[in-house]
């Protein structure tokens, strides 16, 4: 800036100040994702009945209060009962990962802090094992699809394709029996 340093030459009060700041910004706190309830358990009549009795027992034991303060307590109770009866969904592991690969992965994670040759060797072994597992899995899928196709079982072939593509099974759809009532059991749906 031309002329900025001449402020004092004319007996001015203006002085150019130049500095370098180092700022450390705090990261935003990470929000913990709520765990998902195991909702497919609702298809089992025993689970539905257990949840109903749990909620009913809460309502019979309660005393009536103002309507405005009932919602938070009701919400927390129903969610707590659902947690207790339904449980949470389990994290799904890939079908093709072998137990050996999982053990190698855990061992690699434990030695990660050492950063030496053994860590690099373990990481390479884990990668190779996972690659071999994946190739073996897809070779098995291709073989089963070939066999099913040669037999002419298009239904089984379609089920394998849907399973591999990650689409959900159609067995969860509603099926009615001769009387018009819903069939809840998956084996009964298949037999029907």
Residues 70/78, Cβ–Cβ less than 8 Å: no
Domain count, the chain: 3
**Dihedral (C-alpha) 170, 174, 177, 180: value to the nearest 10 degrees?**
-160
Whether residue 162 sits in one domain with residue 180: yes
Whether residue 136 sits in one domain with residue 99: yes
Domain of residue 123: give its range.
95-141
Give pLDDT, residue 128: 95
CA atoms within 13 A on the CB side of 169: 8
* Sequence-distant contacts of 79-83: CB under 8 A, at least 24 apart: 81/51, 81/54, 81/55, 82/37, 82/51, 83/37
Give pLDDT, residue 126: 93
Please check whether residue 14 lies inside any domain of the structure: no
| pTM of the entire predicted model | 0.46
Whether residue 42 sits in one domain with residue 84: yes
Whether residue 87 sits in one domain with residue 41: yes
For the stretch 49-68, pLDDT in tens is 888 888 888 777 665 555 56
């Amino acid at each position: 800036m031309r002329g900025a340093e001449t402020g004092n030459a004319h007996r001015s009060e203006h002085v150019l100040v130049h500095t370098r700041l180092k700022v450390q910004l705090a990261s935003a706190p990470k929000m913990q994702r709520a765990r998902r309830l195991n909702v497919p358990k609702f298809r089992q009549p025993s689970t539905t009945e257990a949840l109903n009795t749990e909620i009913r027992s809460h309502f019979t034991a309660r005393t009536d209060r103002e309507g405005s303060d009932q919602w938070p307590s009701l919400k927390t109770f129903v969610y707590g009962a659902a947690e207790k009866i339904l449980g949470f969904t389990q994290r799904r592991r890939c079908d093709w990962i072998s137990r050996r690969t999982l053990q190698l992965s855990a061992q690699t994670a434990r030695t990660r802090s050492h950063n030496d040759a053994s860590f690099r060797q373990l990481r390479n072994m884990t990668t190779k094992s996972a690659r071999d597992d994946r190739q073996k899995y897809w070779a098995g899928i291709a073989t089963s699809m070939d066999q099913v196709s040669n037999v002419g079982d298009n239904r089984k072939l379609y089920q394998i394709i849907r399973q591999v593509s990650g689409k959900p099974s159609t067995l969860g759809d509603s099926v009615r029996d001769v009387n018009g009532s819903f069939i809840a059991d998956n084996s009964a749906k298949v037999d029907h």
